[in-house]
Structure 1
Amino acid sequence: MSNQIAPTSDKQVPLTQPPKKGSSMGFFSRLRSNKVALIGGYLIILFILIALIGPYFTVYEYDKVDYSLRLLPPSTDHWFGTDHNGRDIFTRVIHGMPISLYVGFLSVLLGGIIGIPLGIVSGYYGGKIDALIMRIMDILLAFPGILLALALVSVLGSSLNNVIIAVGIFSVPAFARIVRGSTLATKKLEYIDAVRALGATDLRIIFRHILPNIMSPIIVQATLRIATAILAASGLSFLGMGAQPPTPEWGAMLSDGRRVLFDFPHVAFFPGLAIVLVVLVFNIFGDGLRDALDPKMKK
């Protein structure tokens, strides 16, 4: 009888390993099932390609002024028409694509670099550290994002780099709060107690066991935040606080077009349409990512 009883105490080690979250194939399968999100992902790739190579294939120069061509309607020579300085609007929209994506990606990266460590430290250690960090985040959240960014740019000065800093700072609370909540939920799992009992340091637990398991909400938040960042940066440029002429930033182009909005609507319509499309595509793709990465959506 004793030969039939196998010792199991030394084999029960699953608690030292994080629970499996499903294969990458399952994730892509769920993402492919969301046709709208899939289209959004393809369009994001298209926008990135346009931003990388599009400016090299435009016929006109984005900053060349020719008053003999001012305010021409859309035509075969000028697909989107020309603005009040005779500049080709299609060329300026194409050259504005890398600027908007640059601002969106870099500002979100800055917000994540600051917000993610703050959220992890707050959620993991708790206590007074958690209270201090979260009260600072509450102060930042008390201001509407665009107003906070506007105040920061007013202090730092009007420039594209300062817009990135301002938008990045007002993105910090969103990352910090989401990461804190995910960290609180993850650190209570049994495998975290197991690795701690085995002598793992706090840094090892955070970087090897907690951070990899909270990446899903971080990725979703970053994708959705890019759309918010592009919209905020365009709003600041619209108010004259962002990119300065002759930089073909979409918000600044939209601001120029409002002066002749009723007589020549195409001047404002096409930059505005570009902003709407890019923001909409990132939001759609972010929603699709959230559904694909949500454990409740998994079979």
Structure 2
Amino acid sequence: MEADAKELQGHTSLHSLRKQKRREKYADFLTTIFKNKIATIGGLIILFYIFIALFAPLIAPFDPFAIDLKNKLQAPSLEHWMGTDDKGRDILSRIIYGSRLSMGVGFAAVLFGAFFGIIMGLIAGYYGKTTDSIISRILDVMLAFPGILLALAIVSALGPSLINVTIAVGVFSIPLFARIARGSTMEVRNLEYIDAIRSLGASDRIIIFRHILPNILSPLIIQGTLRLATAILSAAGLSFLGLGAQPPSPEWGTMLSSGRDFLFSAPYIAIFPGLTIAILVMGFNLFGDGLRDALDPRMKS
């Protein structure tokens, strides 16, 4: 009984020690982020956009789809802070609702690319040899095409829609995550603790997903944050070309496309969606740089 009690106490102490180290790690991470003013600014920008997207129905002053031809092409005023478009729709309301579409496409595309890319990279890096060669050649073929051209080809084949844009942007994000996961896995797979776990009879699946993946997440998280900016920008570009969201959708790229016909008579129709995209992309880039400082040990040294 005493031996069991001591063993239980030992496990409890070990669990408490792990929790304490985890809390210290999170505290150190948050401290590093808050000390970096640029990262803090980027994080606040992102949180602001997320808040707008979540509470769009409560924040938007007008219905983003309501057509009011009597008030079309109104310049910014106290009633319509960003003016109205050629159909009398409030631009501010459309931008607020558009944050759901643009950010949703960005996050979904990055998650899509990260999911398949990380799995491919883990498999290639862990097994090596023939498996690595086959996966690496597939990635080389994908990298042979510029990302936006590959996305254009995919959307052209699938047809213009927001879902197809998400798939297209996600596909050309796969090689980036795969190469990072592959390189990091090749560094970790031969470490002593992996050999010890393997000698205890752990399966490849457990080794890969329980012991290798958690130790290579830092560079993947950093690249994922930076990739969000590229994904949002690419999705807006495809919508601008008419291959993404279709009118009357308030997606930012579609709004930009509609505003190009009024650059001289009503430039605010294109200026405000363009500024919205630019500020959000800047926010992700600033926050991504801060994450690199916080998560990359080489930046700390």
TM-score normalised by structure 2 residue count: 0.90
Correspondence list, 1:202-221, <5 A: 202-221=204-223
* Contact 1:55 1:91 survives alignment (8 Å): no
Cα drift, residue 199 of structure 1: 2.2
* Contact 1:63 1:87 survives alignment (8 Å): yes
In 1: Cα distance, 2:96 partner to 2:26 partner: 35
| Aligned-CA RMSD value | 1.5
- The letter for the 2-side match of 1:243 is A
Cα drift, residue 70 of structure 1: 1.4
- The letter for the 2-side match of 1:278 is L
Q: Which of 87, 92, 95 is 2:94 aligned to?
A: 92
In 2: Cα distance, 1:208 partner to 1:93 partner: 42
In 2: Cα distance, 1:151 partner to 1:74 partner: 39
How big is each residue's C-alpha offset from its partner over 1:148-194, in whole Å with a ceiling of 9 and x where there is no partner?
Answer: 11110111111111111111111111110111111111112221122
- The letter for the 2-side match of 1:219 is I
What is the aligned partner in structure 2 of residue 16 from structure 1?
A: none
Q: Which of 157, 160, 180 is 1:178 aligned to?
A: 180
Query: Between Structure 1 and Structure 2, which shows a larger proportion of helix residues?
Result: 2
Identity over aligned pairs, percent: 58
In 2: Cα distance, 1:39 partner to 1:131 partner: 42
What is the aligned partner in structure 2 of residue 112 from structure 1?
A: 114
Tell me the secondary structure at the aligned position of residue 85 of structure 2: coil
Runs of 4+ in structure 1 off by over 3 angstroms are: none
Cα drift, residue 275 of structure 1: 0.5
- Are residue 274 (structure 1) and residue 258 (structure 2) matched? no
What is the aligned partner in structure 1 of residue 50 from structure 2?
A: 48
Cα drift, residue 54 of structure 1: 2.3
* Contact 2:52 2:59 survives alignment (8 Å): no
In 1: Cα distance, 2:237 partner to 2:60 partner: 26
What is the aligned partner in structure 1 of residue 164 from structure 2?
A: 162
What is the aligned partner in structure 2 of residue 69 from structure 1?
A: 71
Deviates more, 1:289-298 or 1:149-158: 289-298
- The letter for the 1-side match of 2:244 is G
What is the aligned partner in structure 1 of residue 191 from structure 2?
A: 189
Tell me the secondary structure at the aligned position of residue 23 of structure 1: helix
In 1: Cα distance, 2:197 partner to 2:231 partner: 38
- The letter for the 2-side match of 1:129 is T
Q: Which of 188, 201, 207 is 1:199 aligned to?
A: 201
- The letter for the 2-side match of 1:105 is F
In 2: Cα distance, 1:291 partner to 1:59 partner: 39
Tell me the secondary structure at the aligned position of residue 247 of structure 1: coil
Cα drift, residue 218 of structure 1: 1.4
In 1: Cα distance, 2:59 partner to 2:209 partner: 44
Correspondence list, 1:18-29, <5 A: 23-29=25-31
In 2: Cα distance, 1:105 partner to 1:189 partner: 33
Cα drift, residue 24 of structure 1: 2.1
